[in-house]
Structures are given as structure tokens and as C-alpha cells.
Amino acid sequence: MSSQLVQPMEEYLWEQYEDRKQQDESYLVGMWTFLSTEIMFFGALFISYAVYRYKYPEAFYAGHEYMNVALGTINTAVLLTSSLTMALAVHFAQKRKRWMQIGMLVITMFLAFGFLGIKFVEYGDKFREHLVPGYNFEWNQANVNRLEASTAPINIIPSLKAGSLPADSAISHDAQMYFIIYFAMTGLHAIHVIIGILIMMVFIGMLVANHPSVRYHMPMEMLGLYWHFVDIVWIFLYPLLYLIPR
Amino acid sequence: MSVTQMENTTPEPHPRKTYLNEGNTIGSWLLTKDHKRIAIMFLISISLMFIVGGWAATMIRAELVEPQGHLMSHETYNKMFSMHGIVMIFFFLIPSIPAVLGNFMVPIMIGARDLAFPRLNLISWYLYIIGAGISLAAMLSGGVDTGWTFYTPYSSVYSNTHVTMTIVGIFIAGFSSIFTGINFIVTIHKMRAPGLTWFRLPLFVWAIYATSIIFLLGTPVIAITLALVVLERTLHLGIFNPAYGGDPILFQNLFWFYSHPAVYIMILPSMGVVSEIIPCFARKKIFGYNFIAFSSLAIALFGFLVWGHHMFVSGQSVYSGMIFSLLSFLIAVPSAVKVFNWTATMYKGRISFDAPMLYALGFIGLFTMGGLTGLYLASLTADVDLHDTYFVVAHFHYIMVGGAIMGFMGGMHFWWPKITGRMYPERWAKIAAVITFFGFNFTFFPQFILGYMGMPRRYHWYPPEFQTLNILSSIGAAVLAFGYIIPAIYFIWSLKKGPKAPQNPWRATGLEWEEVPSPPPTHNFARLPIVEREAYDYEWMDGRDDSLGAASVTGGKGDG
Ligand code: HEM
Ligand SMILES: [Cu+2]
């Protein structure tokens, strides 16, 4: 690919552009346009969330009781920290401090893995609790499990406030809707995290090899923008799914 | 414009390097990053899809000749019209002008060497091919019977046809649209030649820009919605299934949130093409440049506010109905502005009726018909009667076939000399344009009457009293088919036998004609042009008495 560069490597200019300024700006406009598309991707799900929460407030409340707020909060912190380290990686890219940049990217990547790991644990709980729509969703069973767990000595599942759940099948379908939305939204978000991790891996590899195309800070800035977007989406998901008020 | 190419006036001893002869291997095409070659690959692929969709249409019209046709079973008929709609909308009309003419022309029109992201452009084509391949495979291996609208819960629960696979194909092709849109937006923002301000841009570029906005903001919504349908179908969830607390109206809202704007994806680029053709063949500056430019943006933005007019009888609230009805009337205004401006441009112009102009004029007439009947449908009370009848079918065909495809054909004729370096046979082209126009009206005008009389769409059996009009429509369709077959033949013929095209056969304005030989070299411009004038300065062009004009006058007669 580098044979396509018409300038010396330091300049890193693709042949369709006139100069670096044009190229840099094109990258940025491109990334922002892409993110506007992304907003609409999630937008469709946010709208569905709004419609069903408006329709089934009790079921959404009941469903959210099964969220592990502690893990969700930790994950929020993890992701926010990763945004910080990503911002630092961009900073070091601009300053051309390659090893610092690599270091920050590696930390970001580990935090991203951490996020996925915790998500994995949470998903696992849902499987065990019969809360996975289309796979083993059984609202009553879930409630029974829950009651037992709340009396167990070690409480893995957050405790059930006595009498707070309509533990009957009346809202079973509606509660399932909550979990469909939950899995759809966090799933789409997780896909974005995974894509981010893959890009980071490629980046780290290229940086270690000192590949010419990453000696230039723009690609890094774009990765940064993408990662912050993923972060922001979570900032919305977390309260909407975990912190539904009474 | 400062650079003048002299090489076209004198015969060349060696064949000039063009984008066409730079590498002839399959690989040099399949791995190309040249926007012009990618445009050609899109042209070939969408033409194949057009043949598939056209074949389905032929079967539909053949079946409808008899009140109780026995060409095919009910199920087959359902699959036939579904295939027709899906192929024509998602795999032909939506990519047609943007990915072919837009891809080829936009960089040249704005004085750029390529799109901003050539690799992304190539990826777009591959995504399109993969998506089209999957959907086509689904439709040929048994088909899908939901219609192009995929209404739930029929599509997600009851239909036992290849819904999932078809949707996967459409989903993938959606990314092709999104990437194309990103590419255009960035290119138009950042890669214009020096001096080419926003208000000197050709109106085609404005139209493509507006279309790209819809690509970006609309496509993701349908992608997620269809993905949810697939989830519901494969995992037996109840997202849109009322039996499980799901809301089918939500599906319809999400679907039309994309699909109404999508109808503007299909028509806006055609409006752009017409805005290029009319001034050229009327030899006049376009009337009300700013109005046309802004009406494109207005259509793109307001187009997102009227989706509810497809759901007047779906059970949405009366107040939504009223508001959507009102907004739908408003969206007709920017379209009408364009029609008035084109007409005003022709007023007192020196009009010549070459084939591109015939198509453009046909566009104006048929689009106006389609737009006006859209207003009937946008009136709440009228729509209660007309919804899901042939009136709706006629309405959108007037716009999508009479409008969008006429514009596409007009653009293909207009830019064919530039794209291929060959002239098409003008006389045949005129004949084809006229055949298309009459064939089209014979096909679809009877459908307005049928719909008004109450014939519902998507049924293949109908009361015998509707037969006469249906036969008329089917005959019209056969005539219309010739209107498309003839150009297909002479376009292919002209590739080898057509007279060599001069740089500017129409003496048109615009960088693609003034600065770039036909066909263009790989990187379009030897030296980047500097733009010093407004668009459509035909007074200047006609006053100019240089090689460019001279070459055009003799060139048209053919020297190849
Ligand atoms: C002048 C502005 C327009 C207005 C006011 C308008 C209005 C409408 C209305 C109210 C309907 C729904 C009819 C029903 O289902 O009962 C409709 C259907 C439709 N229109 Fe338009 N329309 C306009 C322009 C367009 C354009 C520009 C296109 C395409 C390029 C288009 C394509 C369609 C299609 C495809 C349908 C039917 C969709 C389906 O049910 O399969 N319309 N139009
Ligand atoms: Cu509409």
C-alpha cells in the first residue's frame, strides 16, 4: 500500500488528496459522518426502548431489578477510564511518543477486555436465571430463583426487596420485552467494543513494527473518536437499563 | 477555466491513456480504486438486477391479463411481486444514480482526482455484490412472499419463505449505501477545486449531497429494524409480535422512517440529472439556482418527517394522521419549486430535442403526475379509500419509473460520451425515449383508474370488469420493455461501433466537459482546474469560439 504514497513517508499523503490539510480534514469529516450514522443505528433501538418502557412501565421496573447494578457501575468506571487512556494515546500520538502511545493503547485494550469480561459474567447470570429471551426465558422460574437466592448466605444475585415484584406471569411477556431490549442494546454495544478491540490490536501491532501509516497521528485520532463514541453510548445505556427509578 | 485541452482537436497517433485502457486484466478491474471503474462495475451489476426485476414484472403483468390467471399459483404470485419490489428498490433504484453516475461524475464535476476514500468505495461495491447475491439466492431458491415492506408479524412469524436470508442480503447492501454516502459527503465538503464554492457547484452535486444525507441517517434505522425482524424470526422473540406484547406499528414506524426518505433517495439524484440536462439543451443559465439547491436539502430533511402518511389506516392516532397529512403537503413544495424552475429555465431558451432532453422532459411531466397524485394520497379521507389500491401503485411508479428511471436514462445518454468515449446513435435514442414515454403511460395510467375503481394491489385475481384496463396496462408494459431493450442494444453496440465522442459533444458547461477528455484519464485531471465562473454559464459557452466548441460541432457527426 505504501507504494501509493506520493510524498515522503513523514508526509503520508494518499494520491487523491492535494495536501495533508485536505487529507486530515477529510479523515475527520469522514469519521464524524460515520458517527452520525452510528447514532441512528442505536437510535432505532433507543426509540424501541422508549416505546416499550412507556407501554410497560411495571415490567421494565421489574426487569431492571435483575440488573447487577454493582457490576454495571464498575463497568461504567472501566469504560470511562479506557476513554481517558485512549485520549492519552491520541495525545502521545500527536507528540510522536511512540512507546507511550503503545502503552496507553495496551491499557485501553485491557480495560476493554475487562469490560467485556464483566459483561460476560452478567450475561452468564442471565442464562442461569432463565432470563434469556428466545433461549430459556421463564419469568416465574426467574422469580423463584431470585427468592431462594435472597435467603442464601452468599448473595450473588442482588437481593429482592420483599413484595416488590409481581411474581406472576401477567407481565411475563412484557418483562421479556425488557430483556430483549436489554440484550439487543448491550449486544450491539458489545459488538462495537469488540470491533474497537480488533482495531486496537492491529494498531498496536503496526505501532510496534513502526509501520509508516501509523507514524501519522490522524488514524489514531479517528480511533480515539470511535472509542469515545462507544463510551458515550454506554453512558446512555447504563442509566436507562440499570437505574430505572421507581 | 484555465486549462484547455487541445489534444482532442487533432487525431492522435497513439491511443491516449484513459481509465479504460489502463490495465485490462480482471484484477485491474476487481481491485481498482478508481471511482470511474467502480462506477462501471456498479452499472453492470445494477443492470443485471434490473433484468431480474424486469423479468418479475413481466410475469406479474402476464398473470394479470386474465381475471383469474392460471400462469401461477397464489403463492408464486406473492413471491413474484415481492421479488420485483425488493430487487427494484433495494438493488436497482437506490444504488442506480448515486453509485453509477454519482460515483463517476461527482469527483470530476468538483475537480477532484478521486473520491475521498477510494478503498471504501470499492468495499461498497463488494458489499453490494454480496448483499445482492444473498438476496437473489434466497429469492431463487424458493423466494419470499412478504412484499418489499416486510410487515410484521407476517414476516417475522407466519411467512414460511426465505425471509431471513433475503433480509440478510438487504442488510449487507445497506452498508454499501452508507459507505457511498460517507464518501460523497466528505468528497463534496473537502475536495472541491479552488474557486468552486458551494454555490458554483453543479446542481447534480447538490442532489447527490442531499441523497447522501438520507443514506446516512435513514439506512441504519432500516438495518436495525430488519435485524430485529430476523432475531424475532429465528429466536421466536416477540419484538413486533402482538401475541408477545410486541408492537407491529412500531415496526411500521421504523420501516417508513427509512422508506419514505428512501423514495427521495431514488428521486433526488434524478432531479439532479435533470437540472444538468435542461440548461444545456435550452442553452440558458438555470433559473433560480439557489432555490433548486436548497430544495434538495429541504427534501432530504423534511423527507424524514412525513413517514406516517403510509400508515393512515394502520391505527395510528388521528392526530398523528392529521399532522403527517399536513407535513406531506408541505414536502410537495420543494419538489414543485424544482418543476417551476426547470420550466422557467426553458422559457425563451433555444431548445433542442436530443435524447437526454427528451428524457428530461419526460421526467418533468411524469414526475409532476406522480407528485400531484401523491397529494391525493396525502389527504386523509381520500387515502382511506385509495390506500392499498392500484392508485398507490400507479402513484409511485409514476415517480419511480416515470421519474427516477427516466432521469437515470437521461443521465446515461447525457454522459455516455464522457464515460465511454463513444456516441450512441441519436436517432434510435430518440425513438427509444418516445417509446418509453408512451409505453410508460399506457402501463400505468390505467392503474390510476383501476385503483380509483377499487382494485386492490397485491392480488392476482380480480373481478372481470377490470380486465380491459388490465390488458391495456399489460400491453403498455410490453411497449415499455422495448423502451429499455433498445437502449441496452445500442449502448452495447456503440462501445465498439459508435463514433468517437469529442470532449464536449453537447457544448455543455461543467468541469467534466470543459477540462476532461472523453473518456477521462485515470486521475481525471492533468493539472487541477481553477474555477472562475458560476455553473451553467451558457452565454459564455456559446460566445466562446475555440477548439472546444469547434470540436463539438464536427465531432458529433462522428470521426470514428
Ligand atoms: C410529492 C410528494 C409526495 C407525496 C405527498 C406522496 C404521498 C404518498 C402517500 C400518502 C403514500 C401512501 C399511500 C398509501 O399507501 O395509502 C405514498 C406511497 C408511496 N409513494 Fe409517495 N408521495 C410523494 C412523493 C413520492 C416520491 C418522490 C416517491 C418515490 C421516488 C414516492 C414513492 C412512493 C411509494 C414507493 C409508495 C408506496 C409504498 C408502498 O406501500 O409500497 N412518493 N406516497
Ligand atoms: Cu411516503
Please tell me whether residue B456 adopts helix, strand or coil conformation.
strand
Using most ligand atoms within 8 A of CB, pick from B397, B399, B455 the residue to mutate for ligand 1.
B399
Number of domains in chain B: 1
> Mind listing the pLDDT tens digit for each residue in B345-402?
999 999 999 999 999 999 999 999 999 999 999 999 999 999 999 999 999 999 999 9
Q: Which chain B residues in 97-116 lie under 8 Å from chain A, judged by CB atoms?
A: 112-116
- Whether the upstream peptide bond of residue B464 has omega within 30° of 0, thus cis, is no
Whether residue B559 is contained in a domain is answered as no
Nearest to B498 by CA among B428, B430, B431: B428
Distance from CA of B465 to the nearest CA of A (A): 45
Q: Which ligand is nearest to the CA of B332?
A: 1
A176 neighbourhood in chain B, CB within 8 Å: 237-238, 244-245
pLDDT at A170: 60
Residue whose grid cell is 460517507:
B182
pLDDT at B250: 94
In the DSSP assignment, the letter for residue B500 is: B
In the DSSP assignment, the letter for residue A165 is: S
What is the distance, to the nearest Å, from the Cα of residue B354 to the centroid of all Cα atoms in its chain? 21
Top pLDDT among B544 and A32 is at A32
> Mind listing the pLDDT tens digit for each residue in B169-182?
999 999 999 999 99
pLDDT at A133: 85
* Residues B178, A37: C-beta atoms closer than 8 Å: yes
Q: Which residues of B63-86 are buried (b: 16+ CB within 10 A; e: fewer)?
A: bbebeebeebeeeebbbbbbbbbb
Whether residue B556 is contained in a domain is answered as no
* pLDDT at position B543 over 90: no
- pLDDT tens digits for chain A (246 residues)? 333 444 444 467 888 888 888 898 999 999 999 999 999 999 999 999 999 999 988 888 888 888 889 999 999 999 999 999 999 999 999 988 999 999 999 999 999 999 999 999 999 988 888 888 887 788 777 777 766 665 544 444 444 444 444 445 567 778 888 999 999 999 999 999 999 999 999 999 999 998 877 878 888 999 999 999 999 999 999 999 998 874
* Residues B523, A15: C-beta atoms closer than 8 Å: yes
Q: Which of A27, A29, A37 to mutate to test the interface with B (most CBs of B within 10 A)?
A: A37
Domain of residue B302, residue span: 3-9+20-543
Question: What is the rounded end-to-end Cα distance, in angstroms, of chain A?
Answer: 57
* pLDDT at position B549 over 50: no
* pLDDT at position B5 over 90: no
Q: Which of A1, A5, A21, A26 to mutate to test the interface with B (most CBs of B within 10 A)?
A: A26
In the DSSP assignment, the letter for residue B161 is: S
Whether residue A94 is contained in a domain is answered as yes
CB atoms within 10 A of CB B523: 15
Give the whole-angstrom CA distance, residue B171 versus residue B263. Answer: 18
Whether residue A71 is contained in a domain is answered as yes
* pLDDT at position B166 over 70: yes
Number of domains in chain A: 1
> What does the mean pLDDT of chain B come to?
92
Whether residue B548 is contained in a domain is answered as no
Q: Tell me the count of A-B CB pairs closer than 8 A.
A: 105
* pLDDT at position B257 over 50: yes
Inform me whether the C-beta atom of residue B236 falls under 8 Å from chain A C-beta atoms: yes
* Residues A16, B225: C-beta atoms closer than 8 Å: no
**Grid cell listed for B20:** 479504460
pLDDT at B69: 84
Give the whole-angstrom CA distance, residue B189 versus residue A30. Answer: 10
Kindly give, in sequence order, each residue whose CB lies less than 8 Å from that of residue B305, ignoring residues fewer than 6 positions away: B327, B331
Whether residue A86 is contained in a domain is answered as yes
Q: Which CATH number fits the domain that encloses residue A105?
A: 1.20.120.80
Domain of residue A93, residue span: 42-242
CB atoms within 10 A of CB B402: 26
pTM score of the predicted model? 0.91
* Residues A16, B112: C-beta atoms closer than 8 Å: yes
pLDDT at B70: 85
CB atoms within 10 A of CB B33: 18
Integer CA distances (angstroms), A211 to A14, A24, A107, B470, in order: 16, 19, 21, 66
Whether residue A12 is contained in a domain is answered as no
Whether residue A159 is contained in a domain is answered as yes
* Cα(B395) to centroid(ligand 1), Å: 7
Top pLDDT among B533 and A193 is at A193
The partner residues of B422 in beta bridges, in order of sequence, read B500
Q: Which CATH number fits the domain that encloses residue B131?
A: 1.20.210.10
pLDDT at B472: 96
Give the whole-angstrom CA distance, residue A221 versus residue B57. Answer: 50
> Mind listing the pLDDT tens digit for each residue in B64-121?
999 988 899 999 999 999 999 999 999 999 999 999 999 999 999 999 999 999 999 9
By the 8 A CB rule, do B479 and B435 touch? yes
pLDDT at A64: 87
Binning pLDDT at 50, 70 and 90, where does residue B14 land? low
Distance from CA of B13 to the nearest CA of A (A): 29
**Would you list the DSSP string of B406-450?**
HHHHHHHHHHHHHHHSB---HHHHHHHHHHHHHHHHHHHHHHHHH
Q: Which chain B residues in 501-540 lie under 8 Å from chain A, judged by CB atoms?
A: 523, 528
> Using alpha carbons only, how large is chain A's radius of gyration in Å?
22
Please tell me whether residue A211 adopts helix, strand or coil conformation.
coil
Q: Which residues line ligand 1 (CB under 6 A)?
A: B 149, 263-264, 266-267, 309-310, 328, 331-332, 335, 371, 374-375, 377-378, 383, 386-387, 392, 395-396, 399-400, 404
Binning pLDDT at 50, 70 and 90, where does residue B556 land? very low
Distance from CA of A153 to the nearest CA of B (A): 35
pLDDT at A149: 62
Integer CA distances (angstroms), B127 to B124, B175, B184, B548, in order: 5, 7, 17, 40
* pLDDT at position B272 over 80: yes
